[in-house]
Amino acid sequence: MSELHVELVAADRKVWEGDAAKVSARSVDGDLGILPGHTPLLGVLVTGDIRIDTTGGQRQSVTIDSGFLSVDHDRVTVVAETVDTSSFSG
């Protein structure tokens, strides 16, 4: 598989779901980039931006407060309590 299936989930709703080429987020240890084929990972995220490069070539960016991210078999789930979608399109 050469793309990531991304789910962006807030506490009260599913914000976004789709395919992406790359996801980057800020974890407690520093910036984290996920590309297809990444090893299964469960990381704690801190307040910051999540950037998603969709397969359509767009770059989406949302701001989250604390949350976590899980990767397994090219499925990426970003979970945050609150997601600020003001800078989000689509």
Q: Which residues bind other proteins (CB under 8 A)?
A: 7, 9-14, 27-29, 32, 39-44, 66, 68, 70, 72-73, 77, 79, 81-82
CB of 70 to other proteins, least distance (A): 5
Nearer to other proteins by Cβ, of 12 and 86: the residue is 12
Which region, left, alpha or beta, applies to residue 36 given φ > 0 means left and ψ of -120 to 50 means alpha?
Answer: beta
Quick check: 3 and 19 in contact, CB under 8 A? yes
Quick check: 69 and 45 in contact, CB under 8 A? yes
CB of 36 to other proteins, least distance (A): 15
Of 1, 2, 17, give the one whose Cα is nearest residue 78.
Answer: 17
Nearer to other proteins by Cβ, of 34 and 54: the residue is 34
CB of 15 to other proteins, least distance (A): 9
